[in-house]
Amino acid sequence: MSPTNNYRSPAHAASAAKASPVTYVSKDAAPFLIMHGDQDQTVPISQSETFAEALKKAGADVTFVIVKGGKHGGALFTNPESMKQIEDFFSKHLTSLSGR
């Protein structure tokens, strides 16, 4: 096997599965807020889409936000619109914990 194809080896697949958060998804997962920039050149948006879909499929509570024009972090993640989404998420989930 050439070095460029090592990612297809069974050993690599097992390591990748252990490292992937998708492996550990369950209906009992804590609520997730996933925010991903649609211009991210570091992490493909498909990774967040796959994770969010796996959480939904398992019955977990997930909020997936695509940050239009967002890269891998930056000011668009802390602008008033994004901060409102973050605050709403925390208000919903942390408030429900305090009422237990």
Would you list the domain boundaries of the chain?
A: 24-98
Q: State the virtual CA torsion across 22, 25, 31, 35 in degrees, nearest 10.
A: 10
> CA-CA distance, 76 to 70, in Å (whole number)?
6
> CA-CA distance, 80 to 96, in Å (whole number)?
24
Reply yes or no on whether the pLDDT at 63 is more than 50: yes
Question: Which superfamily, per CATH, for 24-98?
Answer: Alpha/Beta hydrolase fold, catalytic domain (3.40.50.1820)
Q: Which of 77, 87, 21 is nearest to 52 (CA)?
A: 21
> CA-CA distance, 97 to 29, in Å (whole number)?
14
Reply yes or no on whether the pLDDT at 69 is more than 80: yes
Reply yes or no on whether the pLDDT at 100 is more than 80: no
Reply yes or no on whether the pLDDT at 4 is more than 80: no
